[in-house]
Structure 1
């Protein structure tokens, strides 16, 4: 019997599965499922764009994962995994989208050269007020709902809201969502039996778990996540995050923790984050 041992939202594993040229048929299937459901697939090929600017700090790794791809029609698609709630998420996502969209033009290019850009965000917590687990946002008129441009789309998949009773009855995106929801070993076997693509996904996961080097890198990412959560919990216990501005302070503490790990002077960290020197010193003692 198949047994699942990994967190499928781990950034290293996620990029192994959907950000690899060797398995881009899986990426194509996933993108078609998100954008077009069970319709005839529109995307037939993708090429991966190496952004080469993933932050090295643990917090940066937890905030954002990029798989940036260009489809055969020129559409840019950014896939992100968000596993921690942070302040100003909507603004962050919009900034990432704008960076992707605006980055297409080079000196001398005309606006007609711009292609549609789509963001897909998988979230491991409830974020939007809607009850549905898959929500799509466009730029449209408040009254008529007329879409201004089809160059903007942002998809949110909230895994905690996803519910199902029978794996075999799920549509394409439902099967992918069940998988990333870390379904049970029995359900994973059902997924593999229900769809050739999902069988390939499960086989890729098994190959990953059997590779010692990849498992070590995966474990390092998981440790970074545990350390981050522990740092935040400790900061709350010490009262650094108390008060009405907890969300803003949490971001400051997160930045301060990363700066401390880089060996930056306490006074400089206090000046950069707005935390008191005493609070930064307290964080420093917790990291020893």
Structure 2
């Protein structure tokens, strides 16, 4: 059980949940998500972009999301994000809108547009509440009537889970605790709660023993870390620019520190020498 690959790595996640032979794993996971959102479970799912060996971490452009379709033609997109790329709300709307509008060929009627569901599994927190699973729809502010059911966006924030949350029944939480995978001691309980998880765990153990899969995983981890470092670096650079401008405007150090989140000592170093 030791030295397992991290299922939160999007390459590993797609190999477990997004391959044709593991479609039942994806279906079981999705049904738990939909049941929590008060929806009817699915009986079948069609994979639109199943994992193949072409999905290589060597390709910097690879996005290891999972695209699926229901029998009714509704579209589902599942994306695992290990690091915060920021502007997550706008990013998710942008990708949702591309998926939604991409269904319609020129000259076709709008009524052909089907519901699109986006599921974001995040290894960090973006929403200001304690719920690990938040579901958004388009509803009227005062009486809650739905304008259309065509938009549904899920945020599952693994960062809001802790080891004390082991449930004693089936449900989405078991799946999310498996994905968080900080402690495999709880796996026996999770498996008992959710029989579908056994296949996911076996797939992860099998992958973890595959030398080629491990090599590709390390490559992907490095790319994800490099990307995260670049984003963080750019963010720090922006903070420094803001701090410089505020200094020029004569704002005091403690106010600048509050505004930017930078330590006062770092801001002092930005003061022009006279």
What TM-score, normalized by structure 2, do the two folds share? 0.77
Alpha-carbon distance in 1 for matches of 2:238, 2:156 = 29
Question: Which residue of 1 is the match for residue 212 of structure 2?
Answer: 213
Gaps of 5+ in 1: 247-288
Measured in 1, the distance between the counterparts of 2:36 and 2:29 equals: 10
CA apart distance, 1:83: 2.1
8 A Cα contact 1:78 1:120, kept in partner: yes
| Higher gyration radius (CA) | 2
Gaps of 5+ in 2: 244-274
Comparing 204-213 with 40-49, which one deviates more in the overlay? 40-49
Map 1:236-275 → 2, pairs under 5 A: 240-243=237-240
Partner residue, 1:118? 117
Offset at residue 55 of structure 1 (A): 9.9
Task: Report whether the alignment pairs 1:189 with 2:188.
Answer: yes
- Is 1:15 the equivalent of 2:10? no
Q: In structure 1, what is the equivalent of residue 67 of structure 2?
A: 68
Contact kept, 8 Å, 1:67 with 1:79, in 2: the verdict is yes
* RMSD, aligned α-carbons: 2.9
Question: Corresponding residue for 1:89?
Answer: 88
How many positions carry a matched residue from both structures? Answer: 240
Q: Which residue of 1 aligns with 2:173?
A: 174
Residues 44 and 216 (structure 1), Cα distance of their counterparts in 2 relative to 1, 3 Å cut? same
Conserved 8 A contact 1:100-1:117: yes
Q: Give the secondary-structure state (helix, strand or coil) at the position aligned to 1:115.
A: coil
Per-residue CA distance 1:111-166 (angstroms, 9 max, x = gap): 22111110000111111012211111111111112111111110100111124636
Change (3 A) 1:244 1:91: farther
